[in-house]
Structure 1
């Protein structure tokens, strides 16, 4: 069975943005990268905005399905989170880079920017972890936790730790600040 052409186009857009930057993303560039007849991408996504939205939705869908797969395995919140971050860094690096590039390119108040903001981490999924243990303000604790995760991802993907080779130690290293935060607010 052939993969859905819309999904292939969105995945190709992620790769183009990650490798060449957002300005390189054109309908023609995708047609060429997928060896499609000229105009194929335009048939599915008439405007650049619709193409960018499909790209962001692709990142959202992949993040949710990955998290749901990991969540099915019994694990404490720190281990689950560290494994999720490790998956992002080891298997979805292009998506991370594309996300950051697009966040910088889109107006802060746009729907696309908001979609990208929530594409990796969900306040709605984080909040119950803090509610369960009776944290005074679970919304603030969850938001702070997501900020910590965003910082870790950025540092390991594009920051000073991006030069470190990815290894089996990465999960352990990611888990240290996660454990510290979760212990500090009383989750662990």
Structure 2
């Protein structure tokens, strides 16, 4: 088995991803529940939140690429950079998946230099704001943080909704299915086990 099942019933083949397997709703749901920095922040901070900020900081013509630059993490999870660099198999899977996602949503890939630069500056900014006691990274010592970026914590349903709203802003879709998708993302979850979360 090389695929994973998705909440809405679909599945994605991790070894052989195809563009038609991806939906913006699945990406929003997944990224809103994946934490940056392996969760080592005061409160959870999701990849969905990070992606929305990147989409607002890149040039407008790259906003969709900025929003979806980490979309593969909705299916593969977010590995911290030092670990990712030591796992060539993961990097290959991620690259293959990102090519399929870029084809599905029609944005440039590999990641354009402008998106890479914003991503790195935001990473340093996030570290400063969310891990103020963490040591600086040698490899990013010359990267300057953004002086006026603010980050607030969001519950997963809000992060997913904000991600979907930003997608709608970028692609210029008429409101249609989006409200029902957002309702499904924000419905109160059914309790499981003893109801503790």
Coarse TM-score class (shorter-chain normalised): under 0.3
* TM-score, scaled relative to structure 1: 0.28
Larger radius of gyration: 1
* TM-score, scaled relative to structure 2: 0.27
Which structure is higher in helix share? 1
